[in-house]
Amino acid sequence: MRRRLPFLAFSMALFALGAVDDAGAQASAARQSPIAQTEVFGGYSDIRANVVASGTPVNLNGASLSVAFT
């Protein structure tokens, strides 16, 4: 338990600093005039697993694309 206490305190301090910084960023963003923004994300997933009952390998592949406009 003693070894976890410094880690927990450090984690909580980082969280608090991040929350304060985020609140400041939101306040300054609210004062600025709105501009159009676009976010684009592309990703690929690959999963390989063995079926327990038969021992047969299974491959699953997938791609995704996301676009967001604000």
Q: What is the pLDDT of residues 1-58, one digit of tens each?
A: 456 667 777 777 767 766 666 555 555 555 666 777 889 999 998 888 888 888 788 8
Binned at pLDDT 50, 70 and 90, residue 64 comes out as very high
Q: Domain count for the chain, please give it.
A: 1
pLDDT of residue 43: 93
Cα-Cα end-to-end distance for the chain: 47
pLDDT of residue 20: 60
pLDDT of residue 37: 85
Q: Sign of the CA dihedral 39, 40, 44, 45?
A: positive
Q: Which domain holds residue 12?
A: 4-69
pTM across the whole model: 0.39
pLDDT of residue 29: 55
The answer to whether the beta carbons of residues 36 and 70 sit under 8 Å apart is yes
